[in-house]
Every structure is written in C-alpha cells, then in structure tokens.
Amino acid sequence: MSDSQPETSIEPATQSIGSQASGGQVELRDLTKIYADGDDRVVAVDNMNVTVEDGEFLVFVGPSGCGKTTTLRSIAGLEEITDGEILIEGENVAGKAPRQRDIAMVFQTYALYPHMTVQENMAYPLKVRGVGKATREQKVRETAELLQISELLDRQPKDLSGGQQQRVALGRALVREPRVFLFDEPLSNLDAKLRIKMRTELNRLHDKIGKTSIYVTHDQAEAMTLGDRIAVMNDAEIQQIAPPQQVYDKPANQFVAGFIGSPQMNFFDVEVRQDGGTTVIDTQSFALPYPDWMHDQIDSSPSDGFDAVYGIRPEDITISSLRGESVSETENAITAEVLVVEEMGSDFFLTMEKDGVEFQAIVEPETSVSQGDTVTVSFNEDKYHLFDKSDGESLVYGSEGH
C-alpha cells in the first residue's frame, strides 16, 4: 500500500480527543445519483432529502443495493453526484474533493499500512499535514487511551486481532478530529460476539466525543442499537426515518414492518368486511374481530368492506393452550398446527399453520409445545397493523394510534 493514499479530511482541529465538541450538521437536498452506461440507467439514490443534526448518530439501513452505501460515498466525495446539494455546516461541498470536506471515513476493510506500527498508522494523517511530532504523539496517546489500545502502539497490524485492527482504524479517523464521521459497515468482518462488543464501544465512544456520525449497515440489530435515528432505505429511497423504537412500533409501510424485526412481522392478505352485524378481518383461513380503536384511525369504511394486508409481530401472538390441554377456537383465538420449533436459547420460534396459511410466534422456552401439536393461538388486538393493499402504506399500527 502506498504512503500516498489520499486522506478524507483537512487539517485537524486542536481540541483534545473526547472533549464533547459538537459535530457538523449534514443536509442532503434533492440528492440524486444515477449510474448510466449507454442507454442503461440505474438510479442509486433518488431525490433524497434528510438533515443530520449536530452530534447526531444517524444509521442508514436496508438490503443490498438499496442505495445506502452510495449515499455515504456521496457525502464523503467518493462518488460524483448527479444532482442535488450536500451541505456540511451550511457549506455546499458537492464537487469538492474528499480532503476538502473535513470528514473521516471508517471502512469495512481496515486499510492499515502493514509496514507501520499502530502508533505510526494512527499518526499518519497528522504527519502528512505537517503536524509536529510532539502534537502527533499527544493526539495518538489520547486516542489510544480512549479506545483502550495503548498497549498496542508498538505492534504491527499482522500482530493484531480483527477487533484490535478495527480499533486502530477507528483511532486513525479520530485523531483527525473532523466535523463528521462516516462508517461504511465497519463491523461486518467481525464475528457475532465481537460485533456486539464493538457496538457497545461505538455507543460509548459517540457519547464521549459527541461528533456527528453517519453509519451504514444491512444489520438491523446494529441500526436499532446504535442510531439516535435510523433511515430505512429501499429502491434508492428512504422509506422511513425516525428513532429506532418508533420505526419498530409504527412502521410507515409494509416494507419497513417486514425489514425491521426478527423473525419478521407476519403478513396476511385480508378482507375487512361485515359478518352478521360485526366487523371482522378475514384472512380466508380464519377471521379476527376488528378492534374498536381502528375506527378512529382508518378512513376506509368497514361497512363497505375493503382489501388490506394485516400484520402482527411474532411476539404479539400468544399460545394459550398447550400440549395435553384441550384446544378450542373463540372470537379472539384460533387453533393451529405447530410445524417447526426452533430452540434459540432465550426464546423458541414456532412456525404454525392454519388451513394452508403459515405464521410465526415467539414463546418462552418453558412453553410445553412440540412439532405436530395443535394449539390455541391468540392475537394481541392492541398490536394489529393494517397496510394498504395497493401501495403498502400503513393504515393503522396499534391502539396507541399514529
């Protein structure tokens, strides 16, 4: 790797590491990125508008190819945008080189110089800017102490574990003291246990330094645990941007509801209709009562009947009759056959079937249920979701309302 590798920030500030200096506001206005090859056009980011506030930790999450990494690389200046503006602290940096934007980026690959020690790797961004040796050493010591890698300063990358290399890569970004940090799936190369540990450390670090941070991941657990807000993307557009719990409890549409949550929300094509003077949600395999609270949230008239998609999360389904007990159906409960029991340690995931329709529930390990059992299943009517059949937009999401 050449020592002439381009850097992604300008001259660092002089405040001490971890001094709670605020980061810079980032605003994307009508951001568009189109890849064109002859007559072929691929819209990677479609007219995006979002503001990341000073010191906020915003996470872009979504499936592969949704546009999240292109968005991040556009902010960094590694992609030339097709249209729109990128403002950092009110300055439009679109068209400026990466090193002129005062940002630092941490990549999925650690990109450490193999012939340098940890100290030399971390000090390099300062050295190429002419920062004096004493100042460089002070900044590296402060950063290493913050990241708890002081004992590693004399080692080379080949002598470090994956988690240690990631800390060094993070430290190299921190010493620059940029206005904004950008993270491109930085934990994806780590094993599951270390990813959880590093998530905790990133949370602690952000609380301490208070810098604006924009993070990209396909991992919903990372998004939910790290972000002050999360921006769920699909097909080059933001589907919803909100605090993590709000996205989980009140998804804006069926895509968000299905993407956030594991196992994912159960979905049923339904007809909301009248049945003997009462309103029901009819899945064709079973019918559930239409809760009174829905009348205040929905514009469509149940008396006329309408098609929709009914959703309920696995944790909002209760198994109320167990092996050896009699099973029966009531207004609020159905019987179903257990097809699969997945023992996950703290929970059991059940896949069940009712007249050809499958759905999942989460139960405690103490639940006495086995494959092939017939059980009584209740649905928590305070947690019902309904989505528009045509565009997937949320119609209702729980009795607490919109």
Q: For the CA atoms of the chain, what is the radius of gyration?
A: 26
Contact between residue 176 and residue 203 where contact means Cβ atoms under 8 Å apart: no
Establish if 4 belongs to a structural domain: no
* Six token digits for residue 385: 């979701």
236 and 280 housed in the same domain: no
Does residue 168 sit within a domain? Answer: yes
SS3 (DSSP) at 22: coil
Last residue of a domain, one of 221, 249, 277: 249
* Same-domain check for residues 235 and 126: yes
Q: Which of 249, 275, 308 is the last residue of a domain?
A: 249
Residues 161 and 291 in one domain: no
Give residue 341's pLDDT. Answer: 93
Contact between 290 and 302 under an 8 Å Cβ cutoff? The reply is: yes
Positive/negative CA dihedral, 142, 144, 147, 148: negative
Pairing of strands 237-242, 266-275: unpaired
Nearest to 387 by CA among 272, 285, 287: 272
* Nearest alpha-carbon partner for 28 in 64, 71, 79: 71
Q: Classify residue 381 by its DSSP letter.
A: G
The terminus-to-terminus CA distance of the chain in angstroms comes to: 53
Residue 8 lies in a domain: no
Q: Do residues 304 and 358 both lie within one domain? A: yes
Question: Which three-class secondary structure state does DSSP give residue 101?
Answer: coil
> Is 203 found in the same domain as 303?
no
Given a contact cutoff of 8 angstroms between Cβ atoms, the answer to whether 379 and 335 are in contact is: no
Residue 2 belongs to some domain of the structure: no
Omega before residue 263 within 30° of 0, cis: yes
Give the integer Cα–Cα distance in Å for 350 and 318: 11
Distance, in Å, from the CA atom of 147 to the CA atom of 305, rounded to the nearest integer, reads 59
CATH of the domain at 356: 2.40.50.140
Looking at the structure, tell me whether residues 73 and 172 fall in a common domain. Answer: yes
Query: In tens digits, what is the pLDDT along the chain, a chain of 402 residues?
Result: 334 333 333 333 334 444 444 558 999 999 999 999 888 999 999 999 999 999 999 999 999 999 999 999 999 999 999 999 999 999 999 999 998 998 999 888 888 999 999 999 999 989 988 889 999 999 999 999 888 899 999 999 999 988 889 889 988 988 988 899 999 998 887 788 888 888 888 888 888 888 999 999 999 999 999 999 999 999 999 999 999 999 999 999 999 999 999 999 999 999 998 887 788 999 989 999 888 888 777 766 666 788 999 999 999 999 876 655 666 676 678 999 999 999 988 899 999 999 999 999 999 887 888 899 999 999 999 999 999 999 999 998 877 644
- Strands 40-52, 26-37: parallel, antiparallel or unpaired by DSSP? antiparallel
Phi, psi at residue 358, to the nearest 5°? -100, 150
68 vs 217: CA distance, rounded Å: 8
From 193, 220, 249, the end of a domain falls on: 249
Please name the amino acid found at residue 301: S
Answer yes or no: is 298 within a domain: yes
Per the structure, how many domains does the chain have? 2
Separation CA 147–CA 202 (nearest Å): 10
Same domain, 157 and 34: yes
Is the domain of 122 the same as that of 181?
Answer: yes
Residues 6+ apart with CB under 8 A from 374: 327, 335, 336, 337, 338
191 with 53, same domain?
yes
226 and 282 inside one domain: no
Exposure of 389 in the CB half-sphere (CA atoms within 13 A): 10
Structural domain range at position 369: 259-397
Residues 242 and 351 in one domain: no
- HSE on the CB side for 90, CA within 13 Å? 0
CATH code, 167 = 3.40.50.300
| Burial class of residue 198 in the structure, from the number of CB atoms within 10 Å of its CB (0-12 exposed, 13-18 middle, 19+ buried) | buried
Specify whether 101 is located in the same domain as 207: yes
Strand order of the β-sheet with 91-92 is 40-52, 26-37, 83-88, 91-92
Q: List phi, psi (to 5°) of 249.
A: -80, -35
The span from the CA of 402 to the CA of 393, in Å, is 13
Question: What pLDDT sits at residue 322?
Answer: 60
Strand 40-52 vs strand 57-61: parallel, antiparallel, or unpaired? unpaired
CA distances (Å), 264 to each of 176, 279, 313, in order? 40, 27, 7
With respect to residue 18, please indicate whether it lies within any of the assigned structural domains.
no
The predicted pLDDT at position 309 comes to 96
The whole-number pLDDT of residue 15 equals: 45
CA distance linking residue 242 with residue 196, whole number of Å: 23
Is 20 domain-assigned? no
Indicate whether 10 belongs to any domain: no
